Amino acid sequence: MEEKIVYATTYIKSSKNRFNLVGILENGMKTPSEIANLTNLRLSQISFLLKGLKTEKIVECINENAKRGRLYKLTDLGKKTVQFIEEN
């Protein structure tokens, strides 16, 4: 098992909000506003969570230059980590 997946698993599971956010992105790309509506968290909280997940290379923004409507999705590491979490 890859060390990066274990670290990412720990990072995701150490926060209920991160765990929920990753679960939402498992079903496809979403904007921060869509995620906020699905989680009942404030947009500022979503932005903070996405920033951390992006730093850990678990999620990525596919249209970084957009001022509005940025789309986020799981990276390959994020997908492998979700799969690892589901299997264990």
pLDDT at 65: 93
Tell me the percentage of the chain whose pLDDT exceeds 70.
99
pLDDT digits (tens, 9 = 90+) for 44-80: 999 999 999 999 999 999 999 998 999 999 999 999 9
User: Looking at the whole model, is its pTM more than 0.75?
Assistant: yes
Quick one: fold of 3-87?
Arc Repressor Mutant, subunit A (1.10.10)
What residues are paired with 73 via a beta bridge?
A: 60
Read off the pLDDT of each residue in 18-30 and give the average, rounded to a whole number.
97
- In the chain, domain spans: 3-87
Cα(3)–Cα(80) distance, integer angstroms? 12
